[in-house]
Amino acid sequence: MIILKTPAEVLVMAEASRVVAEALEIVRKAVCPGISTEELDRVAEEAIRARGAVPAFKGYRNYPKTLCASVNEQVVHGIPSKRKLKEGDIIGLDLGAIVGGFYGDSAVTVAVGRIPAETEKLVQVTKEALFLGIKQAVVGNRVTDISHAVQQHVESAGFSVVTEFVGHGIGRQLHEEPQVPNYGKPGQGARLQPGMVLAIEPMVNMGRSAVRVLEDRWTAVTVDGSLSAHFEHTIAVQPNGAPRILSQWETL
């Protein structure tokens, strides 16, 4: 069942998502060669708590940290550790926060210092795929119109979408219906309605699509070792026109 949110609930979700966006901006500025992902986790937790919010991932299904920090061939759910970043790495930063009982969820992938042109392209294409997906989140469309737009853009750039993980509805739970895959034929799945709030999150591999989960039971990596990028926004479908991006980091 898809739980529609009232306008007042969407406002609370906008608050949670704004906390996430601001925290992401702070963590992204702390990214540099030599910093450990555990230090980034501390920065993230402080930023969220300083805003009166609660980190959403810590303790979620026993996830141990506030931040998901996924470096290079890590796709999603990298657990912050003593690992230090080095020039040329890319890192996916994924954060969630709870405000007034509602979740916000957003992710960005950022470069550590200078990165090769092909890596830059991977990051850029993944971000573009997110915004092309978001554009489809309008009344009259169905869920897989989002999915198809993402897949189309990624594959025409020569990259591949991850199929094992998907975007999701979001609200009083981090993961609600519907699932929002990053692949599929257009025109399928639920009809989009005002009050639907979705976390749209393309995960894109430079090489093949296959992923596996490490022995820590969280970190997803590409099977072929190729680089992977991830962007995510929490958005609300509006009665008219374009969706509202609740986790706006681009304008911060």
Binding site for ligand MF3 (CB under 6 A): 57, 60-61, 63, 68, 77, 94, 105, 107, 199, 232
Helix extents (H) in 71-228: 117-135, 143-156
**In the complex, minimum distance from the CB of residue 43 to ligand MF3, in angstroms, rounded to a whole number:** 17
76 and 95 in contact (C-beta within 8 Å)? no
120 and 89 in contact (C-beta within 8 Å)? no
Which of the listed partners (ligand MF3, Co ion, none) does 94 bind, with a CB threshold of 5 to 8 Å by partner kind?
Answer: ligand MF3
User: How many residues make contact with Co ion (CB under 5 A)?
Assistant: 2
The Cα angle at residue 194 between residues 189 and 199, in degrees rounded to 5? 60
- Write down how long the chain is: 252
- How many C-beta neighbours within 10 Å does residue 108 have? 26
SS (HEC) of 22-87 = HHHHHHHHHCCCCCEHHHHHHHHHHHHHHCCCEECCCCHHHCCCCCEEEECCEEECCCCCCCECCC
**In the complex, minimum distance from the CB of residue 51 to Co ion, in angstroms, rounded to a whole number:** 19
Q: Counting contacts by CB under 5 A, is residue 176 touching Co ion?
A: no
Task: Provide the terminal-to-terminal Cα distance of the chain, rounded to the nearest Å.
Answer: 34
Which of the listed partners (ligand MF3, Co ion, none) does 60 bind, with a CB threshold of 5 to 8 Å by partner kind?
Answer: ligand MF3
Residue 222 identity (one-letter amino acid)? T
Residue 92 identity (one-letter amino acid)? G
Selected from 105, 106, 110, 197, the binder of Co ion by CB under 5 A is: 105
Which of the listed partners (Co ion, ligand MF3, none) does 19 bind, with a CB threshold of 5 to 8 Å by partner kind?
Answer: none
Give CA–CA dist 129/182, Å, rounded. 9
Cβ proximity to ligand MF3, 66 vs 144, nearer residue: 66
- Cβ-closest position to ligand MF3: 63
Which of the listed partners (ligand MF3, Co ion, none) does 63 bind, with a CB threshold of 5 to 8 Å by partner kind?
Answer: ligand MF3
Cβ proximity to ligand MF3, 85 vs 198, nearer residue: 198
**In the complex, minimum distance from the CB of residue 232 to ligand MF3, in angstroms, rounded to a whole number:** 6
Given the rule CB under 5 A, which of 66-74, 80-88, 191-199, 236-244 is the region that contacts Co ion? 191-199
28 and 1 in contact (C-beta within 8 Å)? no
Q: Counting contacts by CB under 5 A, is residue 199 touching Co ion?
A: yes
133 and 42 in contact (C-beta within 8 Å)? no
Which of the listed partners (Co ion, ligand MF3, none) does 77 bind, with a CB threshold of 5 to 8 Å by partner kind?
Answer: ligand MF3
**In the complex, minimum distance from the CB of residue 32 to Co ion, in angstroms, rounded to a whole number:** 26
Which of the listed partners (Co ion, ligand MF3, none) does 145 bind, with a CB threshold of 5 to 8 Å by partner kind?
Answer: none
**In the complex, minimum distance from the CB of residue 176 to ligand MF3, in angstroms, rounded to a whole number:** 11
The residues that touch Co ion, with contacts defined as CB under 5 A, are 105, 199
